[in-house]
Chains A and B, each alone.
Chain A
Amino acid sequence: MSETNSGGREFADRTVPVILQINGIKHELQLEPRVSLLDALREYVGLTGTKKGCNQGACGACTVLVDNERINSCFALAVQYQDREITTIEGVAHSDQLHALQAAFIECDGFQCGYCTPGQICSAIAMFEEFKQGAPSAVTEHLAETEIEFSEAEIKERMSGNLCRCGAYVGIVEAIREAFDKEAAR
């Protein structure tokens, strides 16, 4: 099957059915397999909370959670994440109760323009999970360490994939620490 677009360019309809589970809701989409997860979220599902910064893995604005793990959705193809639980910034709050990190970002001025914030928050949520699992990072002293201290060095290293053009880093680190301390105290 082929069709012609208005520019006269010939191309076949190569769309395939893609089922994505996003924030607890099943979306049945018809996509070309080359569509990135980021574009699927923003352009096809209408969830524009996830941002596009560099579109090449360098900024972290597009960070989303897949089964509680963080990935850069600009790299990922939507078709690669069928049957997985995808969570975007739109899905982190519990009904009208903000996620602890969202509340902490507001309280600690963890942003200025806010463009990087959805990525920062999703990334930090996954980081909490990683701490629970005890996975070492580039600054963890021992490779096989499982009880990793929630130090400033660890936070900075583990959040280093998320850039903030506004330079709100002081507030971001403070917000993450505050939310983490609250969660640990619970």
Chain B
Amino acid sequence: MRAYLPDYELRVPKDLEEALAFLANEPGMWKPFAGGTDLMVLLEAGKLEHTKFFSVWNLAELRGIEVTDESVTLGALTTYTEVRRNSILQEEFPMLCVAARETGGIAIQNRGTIGGNIVNASPAADSPPALLAYDAELELLSSKGARKIPYKDFHTGYKQMKLRDDELLTGIRLPRTTKSLRHYYRKVGTRKAQAISKVCFAGVAKIEDESVADVRIALGSVAPIVLRCEKTEAVLRGKSVDERTISAARAALINEIAPIDDIRSTAKYRLRVAANLLEDFLKTVRDGELN
């Protein structure tokens, strides 16, 4: 059923401090409203849990892409369009740009933010697998202070995450250690853009002397959270990519993920596709084809 609008409240804080005060003063009551591309869908469906929101859209502190020698930090409000157009991201973090340009249509890409994609915490979201494979770190802020957390430790269960009631996500930090990596990103859905993924795969690997010197793999839509597959990575590390390694890795991945049947696909299909993507990833990086 549609929501009854007068039940909802929305405020516009004038700065970051005032925004944090909403969260601090009535813990758990207020939620930030960024691009609204998830929230307005829930509102329309009458499925919004919270009734009190404040807009963060105009908070300059949460915008912009900052580049240092060591890292690139995206403000939480960085939109898909900003990601898609950024030349450093195109060069060093291409999977994030591919994820961005395959998320919804372009009008959605002009509003939807990376921060919103993370905190909305859909296991089918398309940027998180890329962020996990790039070893992203999240920057969180409350009126008590700032802290950082590796993104791989952030999601703890379906829509559960290590974000306190009084905290905002302010930035996403990507270490600039990707130059020697090969990148592989695939979103499998009913059609390319505009469709929610059935399975999404992001992997990076460093191949030295024909064996796997480093590897990070993350998948979407195969578990209650977007999953970094460290057990599968462990099976691969130090090995040469031959048939034996590939089948061991496939077996490890199938054990590590736990997909379900839902409106978009079946568990069986997802297991098969995930394992096939892993194999294609390994062969592609072995044979030196970059994304």
Give the interface of A toward B (CB within 8 A).
9, 11, 14, 16, 32-34, 36, 54-57, 60, 63, 69-72, 74-77, 79-80, 123, 126-127, 130, 133, 135-140, 143-144, 157-162
A residues in contact with B194, CB < 8 Å? 160-161
Decide: A79 and B55 in contact? CB cutoff 8 A: yes
Given contacts A75-B111, A79-B12, contact A57 B193 (CB under 8 A): no
How many residue pairs between the two chains, A and B, have CB atoms under 8 Å in the bound complex?
A: 105
Decide: B85 and A135 in contact? CB cutoff 8 A: yes
Kindly identify which residue among B40, B90, B98 contacts A75, using a CB–CB cutoff of 8 Å.
B40
0/1 string, B90-117, CB within 8 A of A gives 1: 1100100110011011111011000000
Give the interface of B toward A (CB within 8 A).
5-6, 8-12, 33, 35-37, 40-41, 44-45, 53, 55, 57-58, 81, 84-85, 87, 90-91, 94, 97-98, 101-102, 104-108, 110-111, 192-194
Decide: A144 and B87 in contact? CB cutoff 8 A: yes
Decide: B107 and A55 in contact? CB cutoff 8 A: no
Decide: B10 and A60 in contact? CB cutoff 8 A: no
B residues in contact with A16, CB < 8 Å? 12
A residues in contact with B97, CB < 8 Å? 136, 143
B residues in contact with A69, CB < 8 Å? 81, 110
Decide: A80 and B8 in contact? CB cutoff 8 A: no
Closest A-chain residue to B44, C-beta based? A56
Decide: B98 and A143 in contact? CB cutoff 8 A: yes
Decide: A157 and B192 in contact? CB cutoff 8 A: yes
- CA separation between A32 and B7, bound complex, in Å? 12
Closest B-chain residue to A142, C-beta based? B90
Kindly identify which residue among A9, A56, A123 contacts B6, using a CB–CB cutoff of 8 Å.
A9
- CA separation between A153 and B192, bound complex, in Å? 12
Given contacts A138-B102, A161-B104, contact A33 B11 (CB under 8 A): yes
- CA separation between A60 and B109, bound complex, in Å? 13
B residues in contact with A139, CB < 8 Å? 192
User: Min CB distance, A77 to chain B, in Å?
Assistant: 6
B residues in contact with A9, CB < 8 Å? 6
B residues in contact with A70, CB < 8 Å? 106-107, 110
The 3 A-B residue pairs whose C-beta atoms are closest, nearest first, are A161-B105, A34-B10, A56-B44
Decide: A77 and B55 in contact? CB cutoff 8 A: yes
Kindly identify which residue among B5, B9, B101 contacts A137, using a CB–CB cutoff of 8 Å.
B101
User: Min CB distance, A61 to chain B, in Å?
Assistant: 11
- New A-B pairs, 10, CB < 8 Å, besides A79-B55, A161-B108: A9-B6, A70-B110, A71-B110, A75-B37, A76-B111, A77-B36, A80-B55, A138-B192, A159-B105, A160-B105
